[in-house]
């Protein structure tokens, strides 16, 4: 009986805990937009950045199909912000991009089907609509990056850099 229990625990420990640990960003990717003027790299404040379809209509996150947050709402970018104390090393909420705008989306987000619309709430800059590409997604877990590295073409984790034009 003791031997049977020992074998059971040995098999349980080998097979029960053999799962690969998950990444903190499993099932989540990010889109990052860096809007600035041509002669200045500073990120422009007070912009509204949304995901729109080919007709320019805001895309809704119906039943969290495109993002794990903001169910049934428009996909709006947030401004990245510092989470460090003034005396600490600089740390950002989304650590893979410093000053920028970002949006959390699912790993299955069909980026090629959508555009990013950038609107200046103060009216200083022209509204721009830019097509998205799959390589604009920040896919952060190693298993997803491994798949991407075996594919031909542009690599993931590239921000969308936008040069804003004044009205």
Asked if residue 127 is part of any domain, the answer here is yes
Residue 147: domain span = 21-163
CB 118 within 8 A of CB 127: yes
43-71 pLDDT per residue, tens? 999 999 999 999 999 999 999 999 999 99
Q: Where residue 144 falls among pLDDT bands split at 50, 70, 90? A: very low
Higher pLDDT, 42 or 147: 42
Domain count for the chain, please give it: 1
Q: Is residue 7 part of a domain?
A: no
pLDDT digits (tens, 9 = 90+) for 16-46: 554 554 554 557 889 999 999 999 999 999 9
In a domain, 12, yes or no: no
Answer yes or no: is 117 within a domain: yes
Residues 6+ away with beta carbon under 8 Å from 91: 82, 83, 84
Q: Is residue 40 part of a domain?
A: yes
Question: Does 77 reside within a domain?
Answer: yes
Q: Decide: 49 and 162 in contact? Cβ < 8 Å.
A: no
User: What global pTM score does this model have?
Assistant: 0.75
Residue at 1 is within a domain = no
Using only C-alpha atoms, what is the Rg of the chain?
21
Indicate whether 2 belongs to any domain. Answer: no
């Amino acid at each position: 009986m003791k031997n049977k229990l020992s074998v059971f625990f040995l098999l349980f420990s080998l097979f029960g805990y053999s799962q690969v640990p998950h990444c903190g960003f499993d099932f989540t990717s990010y889109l990052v937009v860096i809007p600035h003027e041509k002669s200045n790299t500073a990120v422009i404040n007070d912009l509204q950045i949304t995901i729109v379809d080919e007709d320019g209509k805001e895309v809704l996150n119906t039943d969290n199909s495109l993002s794990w947050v903001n169910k049934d709402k428009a996909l709006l970018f947030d401004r990245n912000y510092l989470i460090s104390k003034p005396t600490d090393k600089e740390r950002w909420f989304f650590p893979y991009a410093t000053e920028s705008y970002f949006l959390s989306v699912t790993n299955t987000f069909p980026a090629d089907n959508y555009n990013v619309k950038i609107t200046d709430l103060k009216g200083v800059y022209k509204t721009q609509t830019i097509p998205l590409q799959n390589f604009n997604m920040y896919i952060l877990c190693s298993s997803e990056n491994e798949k991407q590295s075996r594919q031909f073409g542009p690599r993931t984790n590239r921000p969308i850099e936008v040069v804003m034009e004044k009205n």
